[in-house]
Structure formats: C-alpha cells, structure tokens
Structure 1
Amino acid sequence: MQFSKVIDVEGALSRIRDGSVIAISGFNIATTPEYLIVKLWELYERTGHPKDLFILTDTLPAVPDRGLDFIGKKMHETGDREFLRGMLLTYLGWAPWLQRLTAENAIEMYTWPIGTASCWFREVASGRPGIITRVGLRTFLDPRNDGCYLNDLARERRTCSNSLIEIDGREYLLYKAPKPEVALIRATTSDELGNLSMEREGIFGTVLAISQAAKSCGGIVIAQVERLAKFGSIKPKEVHVPAPLVDHVVVAPEEYHWQTCSFRYDPRISGEIIPPRASYSPLELSERKVIARRVALELLYLAKRLDRPLFVNFGIGIPALTPLVIEEEGLSEILLTSIEAGPLGGVALTEADFGVAIGPFAVIQMPDMFTNYEGGIIDASSLGFMEVDARGNVNPSFIPGRITGPGGFPVIVTGSPRLYFAGGFTAGKRKFRIGNGELRIEQDGDVRKFVREVYKVAFNGKLALEEGKEVLYITERAVFRLSERGLSLEEIAPGVDLDKDILSRMDFQPQMGKLEEMDRRIFREEKMNIEL
C-alpha cells in the first residue's frame, strides 16, 4: 500500500536528531517499546548519533537490565556521557543502572509523581504550559524542600521544574518540562495506515497522550507493534491511537514485546480470558497475610457503613496482597479494586510485574485512573510505608544512598479520602509464630520503622488532617490512627506484649487510644468468613 507507515527500525530511529527530547511510554515492561530502546542505543553506538538526548516518561519503562535500564547499564559500562543528557522518571526502583548514573551525577535526573507526569502529557498536548496540582505540597517534592531534583546536575540545569503558585488564596505547584519532539510508544497491532490497537497489552498506559504531546509540537511518533493488519480490518472502537498521530510503525521480534517482566503473553492479563475464581490460590498464613487481612477488614467495615460497594486502590507490596484476601473471602464484588496503571478488579501482580492484573473487569488509560485518585473519586487506598513518625508523616521508600523516586504515592495520598498504610512493624530478619488466633514474635527485626522523624516526607500528616482524611497505620502487631495529637495506638495483636513488642520498638511514645485487641480471625489458618 503506497501510504504504508511500516518501516525498518533503523530507518525510523534515524529520523531522531541530536539534542531531541524523547517521550517513552511504559510501566515497567508493560507498554514499553523495548525493541526501539535497544535499537536506539545500538544506532548511537555504531554511528555516534543521535546523542545529547533528554528522555521524558510517564512511569519507568524498565526493569533491571531491560528497557531504559539496559541503556543505563551500557552507559555505565562504557563510561559514555554523550548519549543522554538527562531524564525525567517517576520511579527508579527497578532500574539499578539508572540509579548509579544518577548518584554519579552523570546525567540530569528529575522525578515527578506518576499521575502528575501522566496527566502532564495531556496538558502539553493541549498547548498549556504545564500541569497545576496540589500534589507534592509540604513534602520533599515541594520546591521549598528538595523539589523535583534527584542530583546536583539537575539542580544546576533545571531542565524540569516545579514552582509554587497561588490561586484564590490556595497553594498549588506548577510542574514544567520541555515538550517532546519524538514519541516512542508501543501497541499490539498496526494496520498499513498506522491505526494502532492494544488488544494483547496488559494496560493502555499513557500511550495516546504521549503521542498527542509529540504531535502537538510538530514532532514524530514511532510505534513498536508485534503484528500487522490490513487497513480497515481493525474495528474502529478498538483503535487506541489513530493513524494521524503515528508517523512510523516498526514490527518488533517477540523477545522484545513482553506483556510484563515475567510474562511474554497471558490472555488473562490482557482481559481476553477471565479466569474462574477457583484458579486463585489462597495465600499462606504469614505476617504479610495478617496485615493484608486487617486492611481487608477495614475496607469491609467501610462498605458496611456506606452500604455500597467500594472503589479502592492498592499500592505495591503488602497492600497488593489485599485483593487476594478479598478473593479468598468471596467478596470481590463488594470491593472494586484498582491499580494505578489502569486495571480495575482481578488480582494485581507484584514486584517487577506490578501494574497489570490477572482477570481485570475493566482497563482504562492511566491519566484517567489518576484522575480517580487525585480527584478523590475513590473511597480509600492502601499503600506501603518504610518509615512513620510521631506526626504521622510517611516515607514510603527513601533511604540515604538509594535513589528511587515517588511513584504514584504522592497523587494517591493527595486525593484519597481514606488512607490505610500497611507494612511490617519492624524491618530486618524476623520470625513469627502465627496460629490459633494469636501472634508470637520469636525474633524481631533490628530496623525500626516508627521513628522520631522520617528521612523524606512523602505524606504530610498535618496537611491530611487539615483536609479531613481518615488515616490508619496497619501492621502485623498494632494498628494506629492519625489524630490531632499525632499517632494514636488503637489495637494490638493477641499474644503480643505492649511494652516489649510495641512501645520499646518505637522511637517515640504514641498517644494511647481506647486500646482493643485485633480481630483473632486474622491470625487463624481458616478463612475469616466475614459477613456484611
């Protein structure tokens, strides 16, 4: 066909000029154009061009040694400092080589929350200067604190920024970055004209908005797909990115087109097959399941109080196990779960596969999902924590010497009206004996998580109280509530000693509420058999 946009990979990537700003889609490996990323490096390695590139992303198109982390590894091993001048990433936890480049001050590195970056592409596609939001206020992201800079080179050059503004007497942050001149995106199928469908992908991500952002400033869009179709054979409502937004289409070998880090292709992830409930295996009883069960109970109490199903979010780690508990109890229709990349329902995958779900009942675009979060449309959210202090401030993942980024955390805590932070009471090597309705601590972790002052504030307890949020901190041995006087201890696990196992393991004295025992059903092998 004379209008075909299908082209070889080098022909497409050769259109990228030195100094370009490139937007790349991807949530870990989901929607990551891994073939284009690898071949872009190989083209530079062979020819010296394109170079001096700046990369913008909606999340992190990488897992260790793959995607953008593959480029980080190559740059580190070769000592190259010319290919990239900088990046805007929302999370670096699965990109150890990019973390090294950041720590070495080899490239400029900036970070925004995922939802802010994802929605920013829509804003700039509409010709607006950036995105205005309350996300990040009074946290490390606030320009009065660290701002969005992850290293000294970023602080010096300020290619990306956020600044404090005031509207009608209320504080906001304005996030700005250079507009993309190139977009590297991924879909499943392209017809000869360049219409793209995403039927085998686990998520839609921000693929459409990234394409629009590049085209709005006269840029080019290069799409990686796994297969081709005849023009007109893709149903109109299944076209996710229409042909006018696509310049070139490259067919990738299957080894560069995985749904997630661990799955080449699973129709349950793309929603083509909905698995029966019998296919889910219950979690083994452990301290992690104990915490997830307590979160599930809190959500079920809320559903009973509101007398309707709940729309909820779960973050990575222990919170992501809560849907498994909900499924085991046969209550998935009462709690309508979501994860930030776009899936609703099903069972969320974890670790480097986080972002997709097995058997979702719906999948929406990522900016739309974050609108649900930031706008307070959801009823509640459960997120993990690394540190909590006496004022209820939370540090989810930051430690000295480790560079991660905020992920979706700041957007979710800004908008969600109810927050149930969930995690282990201590960290390190621990051993528990759980059963018969009790928890026994045989060896405790040597790392304290309830500290006098958190290392980085990603959730501001005082601001949450001002905005009327309900906040709980749920662990395997204790449950705290955020009050005007700070953290208040409300529940302890049966079998746990208050002074030895809780108060002596904290760096501050919590307020003492009406102390109750945690529900003993949480600590038994059998199902909780919850009735609403």
Structure 2
Amino acid sequence: MSKIAESAGAAVADITDGRTIAIGGFGLCGTPSALIEALLQSGATDLHIITNNCGPDSSDVTRLLRAGRVRRVSASYIGDNSEFLNSYLGGAITVDLIPQGTLAEKLRSGGAGIPAFYTPTGVGTAVAQGGIPVRYGSGSGFAAEYSAPRHVAEFDGREYLLERSLTADFALVRAETADTIGNLRFRGAARNFNPLCAMAARVAIVEVQEVVEAGGIPPDDVHLPGVFISRVVDLGGRMRKPIERLRTTDPVPAGGGSHGL
C-alpha cells in the first residue's frame, strides 16, 4: 500500500518525450522544485506543460524552457518572465493563454471526468472570438497560429463560452505532509494549483517535507485524498522555499515610536 518512491529521479523515470505534465505552484510558491530538477536530469523533452504561470526568470519551470525541453505551455499569464516571453515571441514554443479562473476549472473538471463546461468569463473578448496568437513564426515576429473561437450559448438571458477541460499524463506537485498511502496536507497559500493539477493527471507525483504513517493526518486535515496520488517523494525536511519578491520594513525603534520613512 505504501506509495513512497525511492527518490525523485525514480519517481519521474517513466516520464518520456511528448508527455503532458501539470505542474503545481503559483510563481515560486508551492512549486515542486525537486521533481522539476529530476525531470531536467531525466532528459525528457517535447513536453506540454500546464501551469498557472512559469514564475520569474529564476524559477525551476523556466529552467525547462531555457533547456529547450518544452514545446507547449498552457498558462494564465506570462508576467515579467523574459525567457517565457522570448520563447513565445520567437516561435520556440506554442502558448495557450487561459483566464486564471478558467484554467483552475479546466483542471478541476478534467479531474472530475467532466469533458467541458460553460463559463461567462471571456464573453465579448478575443477569448470568445478567437484570434489570440498561439504560436509565432520562428524569428518572424508575426503570429503563425491563432486561438480558435469558442462556442457561445445563452442561458437565462446571459451568454456563456464552452471550454474544454484539461487532463495530463503526469502531475508534479508539492505538499507539506503526506502519509504513506498518499493523503496530503498543504500549508497556507502553497496549496494553490497543486490539488487541481494532481486531480487532473493520470499519474500524480508529490514531493513533501514530511511523511507520517497512514492515519497520521487527522481526516479533517486531509486536503487531498491519497486516491489522487501515485507516488510520494520524501524530502526529509530539505524542501527549498525561495522567496519571489522580498519585502522588508524598518524595525520598530526600542521603546516604540513610528517607523522611519
């Protein structure tokens, strides 16, 4: 019954070229760094990555882009990631830009076995009408492929778009704690897209800071049941938690008083 993998490398060993991989995280928060590093070491290429965003230039997902291992990205925005932007505009990758809430629902619905759903998000925009650049010609600066228009239907006097759900061959996710049969507990905002990615994948692999015995997580504290998890990688407390944007304030002077400006 134990789902504990020997190592991160062993856990991702069957991810081969051309696979679709859902990667949890939001920027650097909750991103499965050890599993992405293992994927880099594996040599798998021609990958389709589904992720909320690729994070900053320093992110682990960006390392996959920089290594030329990704052919397609489905994400909600590019942000200030210059590697992602240049790969997109240079024609090196195909990009599906999806409204963030719609992306979350695409993954949730995919995990629930729902093939498509209607949403009001994007009605009256290029999301509905099509025409968002999906792929640029190599070095041309001109779009070579555009998004397709969505089917629009009316319910109770309001228009909705039909969106196809998303599924993946594999998911790479991060949690704070797992038990030996894969039940997961996340911590704070690091939960983000991780449960959705795990639910949408045929094989979900999780890296965790701590592993406890089955039953060690109280039932009310289980955020994702082990039925969705195939493999658990125990990092033994060595989880890397980088800060994307460090913000500090001046300390309060001894004896009180106001902050310096």
Query: Quick check: 1:32–1:61 contact (8 Å CA) kept in 2?
Result: no
Deviations 1:428-466 (A, max 9, x none): xxxxxxxxxxxxxxxxxxxxxxxxxxxxxxxxxxxxxxx
Q: Secondary structure at the match of 1:54?
A: strand
What amino acid maps onto 1:55 in structure 2? I
The answer to whether the Cα contact below 8 Å between 2:5 and 2:11 also exists between their aligned partners in 1 is no
Corresponding residue number in structure 2 for 1:347: none
> Residue deviations 1:388-411, cap 9 Å, x none?
xxxxxxxxxxxxxxxxxxxxxxxx
Change (3 A) 1:162 1:18: farther
Superposed CA deviations along residues 114-151 of structure 1, whole A, max 9, x for unmatched, are: 1110111111222222332121222343325x33x343
The one-letter code of the counterpart of 1:125 is: G
Q: How far did residue 282 of structure 1 move? A: 7.1
Q: Distance in 1 between matches of 2:61 and 2:148?
A: 22
How far residue 177 of structure 1 moved from its aligned partner, in angstroms, is: 5.8
The answer to whether structure 1 residue 65 and structure 2 residue 58 are counterparts is: yes
1:100 aligns with 2:91: no
User: What does 1:87-486 align with in structure 2 at a 5 Å threshold?
Assistant: 87-144=73-130, 146-147=131-132, 149-152=133-136, 163-168=150-155, 170-176=158-164, 178-199=166-187, 201-214=188-201, 219-252=202-235, 257-258=240-241, 260-261=243-244
* Distance across 1 between alignment mates of 2:227 and 2:34: 23
Is contact 1:184-1:222 (8 Å) kept? yes
Q: 1:71-82 maps to which residues of 2 (within 5 A)?
A: 71-75=64-68
Paired AA for residue 14 in structure 2: R
Q: How far off its partner does 1:102 sit?
A: 0.3
User: Structure 2 vs 1, CA of residues 283 and 251 (structure 1 numbering), >3 Å: closer, same or farther?
Assistant: farther
Cα drift, residue 65 of structure 1:
1.8
Report runs of 4+ in structure 1 exceeding 4 Å deviation.
155-158, 253-256, 281-284
Mapped to 1, the partners of 2:173 and 2:166 lie a distance apart of 18
Q: Relative to structure 1, is the Cα distance of residues 16 and 187 closer, same or farther in structure 2, using a 3 angstrom cutoff?
A: same
Question: Which residue matches 1:37?
Answer: 36
Percentage of pairs with the same residue: 24
Q: Give the counterpart letter for 2:107 in structure 1.
A: F
CA offset digits 1:247-283 (Å, max 9, x no partner): 11113476753164257xxxxxxxxxxxxxxx9x879
Aligned mate of 1:51, from 25, 28, 45: 45
| Aligned-partner Cα distance in 1 for 2:24–2:9 | 19
Find the residue that maps to 2:104 and give its secondary structure. helix
TM-aligned CA distance change 1:231 to 1:259, over 3 Å: farther
- CA 1:43 to 1:17, structure 2 compared with 1: closer, same or farther past 3 Å? closer
Instruction: State the AA in 2 paired with 1:62.
Output: G
Question: What is the rounded CA distance, in whole Å, between the counterparts of 1:282 and 1:121 in structure 2?
Answer: 45
Q: Kindly provide the CA deviation profile for residues 288-329 of structure 1, in whole angstroms up to 9, marking residues without a partner as x.
A: xxxxxxxxxxxxxxxxxxxxxxxxxxxxxxxxxxxxxxxxxx
TM-superposed CA distance for 1:29, in Å, is 1.1
Structure 2: distance between partners of 1:73 and 1:4: 32
Q: Give the length in aligned residue pairs.
A: 245
Shift in CA distance, 224/262, structure 1 to aligned 2, threshold 3 Å: farther
Deviation at 1:184, TM superposition (A): 0.9
TM-score (ref. length: structure 1): 0.42
Report the 3-state secondary structure (helix = DSSP H, G, I; strand = E; otherwise coil) of the residue aligned with 2:227: helix
Which residue identity does 2:81 align to in structure 1?
A
Following superposition, the deviation at residue 156 of structure 1 comes to 5.9
2:48–2:70: 8 Å Cα contact kept in structure 1?
yes
Structure 2: distance between partners of 1:19 and 1:208: 23
- What letter corresponds to residue 91 of structure 1 in structure 2? Y
* Residue of structure 2 in register with 1:6 after alignment: 5
Q: 1:416 aligns to what?
A: none
Q: Which residue of 2 aligns with 1:382?
A: none
Paired with 2:200 and 2:70, the residues of 1 have a C-alpha distance of 21
Give unpaired runs (5+ residues) of structure 2: 138-142, 247-255
Q: Structure 2 CA distance, aligned partners of 1:186 and 1:41? A: 17
**Greater C-alpha radius of gyration:** 1
Query: Shift in Å at residue 51 of structure 1?
Result: 2.3
Separation in 1, partners of 2:2, 2:237: 26
Q: Secondary structure of 2:216's partner?
A: coil
The amino acid across from 2:213 in the alignment is K
